[in-house]
Structure 1
Amino acid sequence: MCRNIKTLFNFDPHATDDEIQAAARQFVRKLTGFNEPSKANEEAFNHAIQEVAAVAKNLLDSLVTNAEPRNREVEIERARARSAKRFGVAEE
Structure 2
Amino acid sequence: MCRNIKTLFNFDPPVADSEIHEASLQFVRKLSGFHTPSKTNEEAFHKAVDEVAAAARILMDSLVTNAEPRNREVEKERARARNLKRFGPQA
TM-score range with shorter-chain normalisation? over 0.9
TM-score with structure 2 setting the length: 0.97
User: How far is the alpha carbon of 1:2 from its aligned partner?
Assistant: 1.3
RMSD: 0.9
**Match for residue 16 of structure 2?**
16
1:39-61 CA-to-partner distances (Å, cap 9, x unmatched) read 00000000000000000000000
The match for 2:44 is: 44
- For structure 2, list consecutive stretches of 5 or more residues without a partner in the other structure: none
In 2, Cα distance between equivalents of 1:24 and 1:88: 30
- In the alignment, residue 66 of structure 1 is paired with which amino acid? N
Displacement over 6 Å in runs of 4+: none
In the aligned structure 2, how far is the partner of 1:12 from the partner of 1:63? 15
> What are the ranges of 5 or more consecutive residues in structure 1 without an aligned counterpart?
none
Per the alignment, residue 35 of structure 1 pairs with 35
1:76 paired with 2:76, answer yes
| TM-score under structure 1 length normalisation | 0.96
Counting aligned pairs with the same residue, the percent is 71
Q: CA deviation at 1:77?
A: 0.2
